[in-house]
Structure 1
Amino acid sequence: MNNEVADSNPADAEILVIGAGPAGLMLANILGMYGRKVTVLEAMDQLIDYPRGVGLDDESFRTIQTVGLVDTVKPHTNPQHIMRLVNGAGKVILVNNPQTDEFGWDRKHGFIQPEVDRALYEGLSRFDNVQVLFGHRVEDVKEDADGVTAVALATGPDGQAEERRFRAQYLVGCEGGKSPTRKRMAVSFEGESPSTRWLVVDVNNDPLGTPNVFLGADPKRPYVSIGLPHAVRRWEFMLHDDETEEQVTDPAYVDNLLRDHVPDPSKLDFIRRRVFTHHGRVAGTFRKGRQLIAGDAAHLMPVWMGQGWNSAMRDATNLGWKLAAVTAGQAGDELLDTYTAERKDHAKAMVDLSMTFGKFIKITNPAGALARDAASSVLNLFPSVKSYFADMKFKPMPRYKQGVLADPTTQESGRAASVLTSRLIPVRTANSKVSPVGLQFPQPRVNSKDAPNVLLDDAIGNWWSVVVWGNSPKDVLPQESLDKLRALGARLVCILPETQREWAEQYMGEDVLVLGDHTGRMKKWFDDRPTPLVFLRPDRFVAGACLTQHAPATLDAILRSMAFIAPAEPAGVVIADDAAVLAK
């Protein structure tokens, strides 16, 4: 990665990313991994160095795993971040402590955002095809039929502002909630910006030391207390309408707010005191022509569910492989329309959930708070309700119903119903008729010839895969379909019980990756669903899942949905290892 000031000549790239925040940095890592040429322009002189987001989920960790940065991110996280909602008397109303590791990682982690963002930034040094330029404020963007030209002001060697131009095929605005890219696109940004303000207080040398989260639903003054890695403690206090920002950031005033939390607030090592307002907004579309938006530029959500940073990761994960495919000439431009179709509804669902949860916490009417606490106590008596909150089942998981998909029953291209409706006996007798298409595929540990007990994604690589339970893809797919999969760059994978792995490795040949299911988790997944063949996208979502005889039609529908462009000659190799880049 080159992070020096560019020369005076126009800088050409395939993708321009505006903003070196979490969405922009992760997107650049994904595109760099796929060999695409990327320029990141950041208006500030350096990364933001104060804490912001505090929650990192399993989906985000899976993306971090995909780009090979787990080892540099882990030291700045604490897994299994338990949240307790307490009332004004300190009694626990609800506990959120999910135990699942369905996607290979703990469901919730606390984290220090500046350190994790820095790990994402430093990870770009692996890619000669990626450059990050700080102190480059984009003032204007011109779009034409062939690409975009960004006009940026940058400080030159003499300290004077210089105009520089950057050319690319596509531009992605990741500049936050006030995104100039979104404003240039002239798209709506609908939602709410409640008048309620909050004071954020971050301190070093955590004086409490408890590792988890307390949401204080105190009608006198709702608050949040969060234990974070590196001995950082965060408090958030809801402000009353008559309290000014100057008043509440005064050290003496802050000390008074903290007196119920620590014996001597004056002895704390403060990082910052800052007032902010929650927003819940979603852009009308995430793409217009050759310009796109991601992260807070596309959606703003309150902090309650800790999903702002994670939603940025989901955007980058969804958009990254699609931009790579289009710029590599493997898919048509219309593939990028599926970004909005797939991401917008889930972003809105997370915004709505966060807004609702916030209203539940910040009740200040004593009678209303009493009714809430009483209702919570009764509901906690029901194990199913208690589990609903403890295991975070209320969180809507992304399910794509439109996009790069094929319906498992009808093989319709670009759409997928959420249930299996076939009248075939394997479907009628299945334990689950919920379709896996449009959902994220699980990530258990598996055994391979090269490595025991590895996470699934590390075994199959970072591009497309076709996964078959108990059988060789070469035995159940016709040659025509195998040729299309090779052109797509998909890896052929067989998963079967560990007891059969060595036999299968000898029988199936070198061009089929054989994985042993030594935990039994993959067997259970396939046992519950009449879909023994799965087409797995680079972002780990299921594009198609079917009975093997439906596989050719399902594959064709998927390729149509992504506007696949077959190369003049087959790629000739399966692209799936960690160093893989898209075949041009």
Structure 2
Amino acid sequence: MQKSPEFDVVQIGFGPVGQVSAALLGQGGHSVGVFERWPSVYPLPRAGHVDHEIMRIFQGMGVAGDVERHAIPIPDYDWFNGDGKLLLHMDWDVPTPSGWKSDYLMYQPYMEDALMGAVARHPNVAVHHGWQAVEIVQHPGHVEVVLREGERRDEGWTPTGRTRTVTARYVIGADGAASFTRSTTGIVWEDFGFEEDWLVLDVRPHDPDLRIDMPDAGQICDPARPVSPFRWLGREHARWEFMLLPGETAEEMTRPDKAWELLARWDVTPENADLIRRTVYTFRSLLAASFRDRRVLLVGDAAHLMPPFLGQGMCSGVRDAANLAWKLDLVLRGRAPETLLDSYTEERRPHVERIIRTAIELGKVVCITDPDAAAARDAAFLSGQVPPPPPFPWLERGVLQGGESSGPVGRLGVQGRVARGTAVGRADDVIGGGWTLLVRTAGALDALGAARRAFLAGLGAHVVHVSPAPLAAGSAVDVDLVYRRWFDALGADAVLVRPDFYVFGTATGVAALPALVDELRARLEGTAA
């Protein structure tokens, strides 16, 4: 008799996206074995931005407050030319559907402390540092992963000679841009052609409130040298990114004296700040042809790389983890067939591709070094001839009512404040996360019948009547009338929201509610027409 796999999921890699993935799967009660090549967590920042959608995901993990405590909400993202004239203004001080500020700048090590705390709360998640995957073998019902142990020596990784083999029902590759997981599956990159080297300098001012004449978040589109300055990387740090010019090398640009020379423009010196990180990154634009090969799935940088000009690299990886977690949860619990995982690539890849393409177009604006081309760019922007950036993407097709986006379907659901019993707060905290069916008509839930109620209960769904006043036991009070306005705008009486906060579908009128639930069941089971 064949032994059951040791884990439900083996995850290779434990950066921030891997931390989110492990925590979300742990919340579902699944056994997860995480294997990270490096013996300890990388202590320096890389990503610096999260948006409202990511904060709502963090909220569901119980860490949003910890992340927010060390983050700074950013109201504006301004782009200037070399003469200091404003070319492009992105207003980030806008209402969001998620119940959080639009955008935050944060210091990644503090964020990772919170994420690792979320993982540690789940004893069913075992994290093993110092183990590198060297072979992945897929079988009809499980995956076998061969690992070798290593240790850090002189900033390198040296094998100790020990190996082990583990088995799992599924494997998640969260092992970054040089992903062994991706390469061993044979999944190839699609290259969109953007590639530029940039120097990244992270600085800790001795006085956190040191006045520095720079935008809170912005771009300086100077053909002499494009620069991305961020006054706040969390509450104690700042970041500058400088484009390398032809002939410059990483060795030259990462010398401390060169770093201070570049920072002198802002009167940042060794006398008033510490230089905590200096490195050269190659900003690239790559997208995996698929995010899945049978029982192996990719998340984060293992699946996509993008220029940083939208701040969406890590955010996209967190969305991967949130999308995949609820689907794997249903498959592992026997509530959906394995074919549900086909929708992972179907949903996430087009979403990421749209972000990559937008980031590339923004990068083309920033990275102009020819003075004549820069002058033409400036003239176009200053005369208002350049259209604004496209709207942020939503889900185009997948596990959605009708199979594709239409109206609110495929867009982010709303989170307002509600009151229920003695609890008052953001809806996810009061009602709970996961599948949520919100209705605004008293008695609407009676139309579902016992079988549909049992199906929703099997999903762990919350079925909630939301109204401006408490009308029945268990109903939620719409404290700020956010939901009433939302229902009115949609012309709907019920909204069914997925665990990753995207709207599955809506129903108008009580009579349409059973069909909404029936379609959800068909979409999950793969029987929808």
TM over 0.5: yes
Instruction: Please report how far the alpha carbon of residue 265 of structure 1 lies from its aligned counterpart in structure 2 after TM superposition.
Output: 5.6
**Equivalent pair of 2:354/2:393 in contact (CA under 8 Å):** no
**Equivalent pair of 1:80/1:97 in contact (CA under 8 Å):** no
Q: Could you tell me which amino acid in structure 2 is paired with residue 333 of structure 1?
A: E
Of the structure 1 ranges 138-147 and 197-206, higher mean CA displacement relative to structure 2 is found in: 197-206
Give CA deviations for 1:396-431 in whole Å, capped at 9, x if unaligned. Answer: 232242x22222xxxxxxx1352xxxxxxxxxxxxx
Residues 54 and 395 of structure 1: is their aligned pair in 2 closer, same or farther, counting only changes over 3 Å? farther
Correspondent of 2:497 among 533, 536, 541: 536
Q: Could you tell me which amino acid in structure 1 is paired with residue 408 of structure 2?
A: P
Q: CA RMSD in A?
A: 2.3
Instruction: Please report how far the alpha carbon of residue 178 of structure 1 lies from its aligned counterpart in structure 2 after TM superposition.
Output: 1.1
Instruction: Please report how far the alpha carbon of residue 437 of structure 1 lies from its aligned counterpart in structure 2 after TM superposition.
Output: 1.4
Q: Could you tell me which amino acid in structure 1 is paired with residue 447 of structure 2?
A: V
**Equivalent pair of 2:142/2:295 in contact (CA under 8 Å):** yes
Q: Which residue of 1 aligns with 2:423?
A: 451
Q: Which residue of 1 aligns with 2:49?
A: 55
Instruction: Please report how far the alpha carbon of residue 208 of structure 1 lies from its aligned counterpart in structure 2 after TM superposition.
Output: 4.1
**Matched residue of 1:14: which SS?**
strand
Counterpart CA distance in 1 for 2:201 and 2:271 is 13
Q: Which residue of 2 aligns with 1:225?
A: 229
Residues 564 and 495 of structure 1: is their aligned pair in 2 closer, same or farther, counting only changes over 3 Å? farther
Counterpart CA distance in 2 for 1:88 and 1:553 is 58
**Equivalent pair of 2:438/2:496 in contact (CA under 8 Å):** yes
**Equivalent pair of 1:148/1:169 in contact (CA under 8 Å):** yes
> Which structure is higher in strand share?
2
**Matched residue of 1:259: which SS?**
helix
**Matched residue of 1:178: which SS?**
coil
Alignment of 1:452-491 (within 5 A): 452=424, 454-491=425-462
Counterpart CA distance in 2 for 1:220 and 1:554 is 57
Instruction: Please report how far the alpha carbon of residue 91 of structure 1 lies from its aligned counterpart in structure 2 after TM superposition.
Output: 2.0
Instruction: Please report how far the alpha carbon of residue 106 of structure 1 lies from its aligned counterpart in structure 2 after TM superposition.
Output: 0.6
Residues 471 and 564 of structure 1: is their aligned pair in 2 closer, same or farther, counting only changes over 3 Å? farther
Counterpart CA distance in 1 for 2:500 and 2:73 is 23
Correspondent of 2:484 among 517, 520, 523: 523
Instruction: Please report how far the alpha carbon of residue 93 of structure 1 lies from its aligned counterpart in structure 2 after TM superposition.
Output: 2.0
Counterpart CA distance in 1 for 2:170 and 2:350 is 23
Residues 44 and 522 of structure 1: is their aligned pair in 2 closer, same or farther, counting only changes over 3 Å? same
Correspondent of 1:399 among 395, 402, 425: 395
Give CA deviations for 1:426-474 in whole Å, capped at 9, x if unaligned. Answer: xxxxxxxxx211111111112222312x111122212222211132343
Q: Which residue of 1 aligns with 2:414?
A: 442
Alignment of 1:240-319 (within 5 A): 240-262=245-267, 264=269, 268-319=273-324
**Equivalent pair of 1:283/1:298 in contact (CA under 8 Å):** yes
Alignment of 1:482-501 (within 5 A): 482-498=453-469, 501=470
Q: Which residue of 1 aligns with 2:192?
A: 192
Q: TM-score, normalized by length of structure 1?
A: 0.83
Q: Which residue of 2 aligns with 1:115?
A: 110
Instruction: Please report how far the alpha carbon of residue 321 of structure 1 lies from its aligned counterpart in structure 2 after TM superposition.
Output: 1.0
Q: Which residue of 2 aligns with 1:101?
A: 96
Matching of residue 549 in structure 1 with residue 514 in structure 2: no
Instruction: Please report how far the alpha carbon of residue 155 of structure 1 lies from its aligned counterpart in structure 2 after TM superposition.
Output: 4.8
Matching of residue 179 in structure 1 with residue 197 in structure 2: no
**Matched residue of 2:399: which SS?**
strand
Matching of residue 36 in structure 1 with residue 8 in structure 2: no
Q: Which residue of 2 aligns with 1:577?
A: none
**Equivalent pair of 1:208/1:262 in contact (CA under 8 Å):** no
Counterpart CA distance in 1 for 2:89 and 2:211 is 19
Q: TM-score, normalized by length of structure 2?
A: 0.92
**Equivalent pair of 1:465/1:537 in contact (CA under 8 Å):** yes
Counterpart CA distance in 2 for 1:291 and 1:368 is 45
Give CA deviations for 1:243-297 in whole Å, capped at 9, x if unaligned. Answer: 1222212222222222322264676411121111111111111111100000010
Counterpart CA distance in 1 for 2:326 and 2:103 is 25
Q: Which residue of 2 aligns with 1:82?
A: 76
Residues 251 and 266 of structure 1: is their aligned pair in 2 closer, same or farther, counting only changes over 3 Å? farther
**Equivalent pair of 1:47/1:118 in contact (CA under 8 Å):** no
Q: Could you tell me which amino acid in structure 1 is paired with residue 90 of structure 2?
A: N
Consecutive unaligned residues of structure 1, counting only runs of 5 or more, are 1-8, 408-414, 419-434, 506-512, 566-584
Q: Could you tell me which amino acid in structure 2 is paired with residue 125 of structure 1?
A: A
Counterpart CA distance in 1 for 2:105 and 2:272 is 25
Aligned residues: 511
**Matched residue of 1:260: which SS?**
helix
Q: Which residue of 1 aligns with 2:154?
A: none
Of the structure 1 ranges 166-175 and 244-253, higher mean CA displacement relative to structure 2 is found in: 244-253
**Equivalent pair of 2:149/2:162 in contact (CA under 8 Å):** yes
Q: Which residue of 1 aligns with 2:348?
A: 343
Give CA deviations for 1:102-128 in whole Å, capped at 9, x if unaligned. Answer: 211011000111221221112211111
Q: Which residue of 1 aligns with 2:241?
A: 236
The percent of aligned pairs where both chains have the same amino acid is 32
**Matched residue of 2:14: which SS?**
coil
Counterpart CA distance in 1 for 2:160 and 2:302 is 29
Correspondent of 2:219 among 211, 215, 219: 215
Consecutive unaligned residues of structure 2, counting only runs of 5 or more, are 152-158
Instruction: Please report how far the alpha carbon of residue 304 of structure 1 lies from its aligned counterpart in structure 2 after TM superposition.
Output: 0.7
Instruction: Please report how far the alpha carbon of residue 60 of structure 1 lies from its aligned counterpart in structure 2 after TM superposition.
Output: 0.5
Counterpart CA distance in 2 for 1:312 and 1:533 is 30
Of the structure 1 ranges 340-349 and 259-268, higher mean CA displacement relative to structure 2 is found in: 259-268
Instruction: Please report how far the alpha carbon of residue 300 of structure 1 lies from its aligned counterpart in structure 2 after TM superposition.
Output: 0.5
Counterpart CA distance in 2 for 1:246 and 1:551 is 63
Give CA deviations for 1:327-376 in whole Å, capped at 9, x if unaligned. Answer: 11111111111111111100001111111101011112222222222222
Correspondent of 1:16 among 10, 35, 40: 10
**Equivalent pair of 1:534/1:545 in contact (CA under 8 Å):** yes
Counterpart CA distance in 1 for 2:455 and 2:50 is 37
Instruction: Please report how far the alpha carbon of residue 81 of structure 1 lies from its aligned counterpart in structure 2 after TM superposition.
Output: 4.8
Q: Which residue of 2 aligns with 1:71?
A: 65
Correspondent of 2:141 among 140, 146, 167: 146
**Matched residue of 2:117: which SS?**
helix
**Matched residue of 1:276: which SS?**
strand
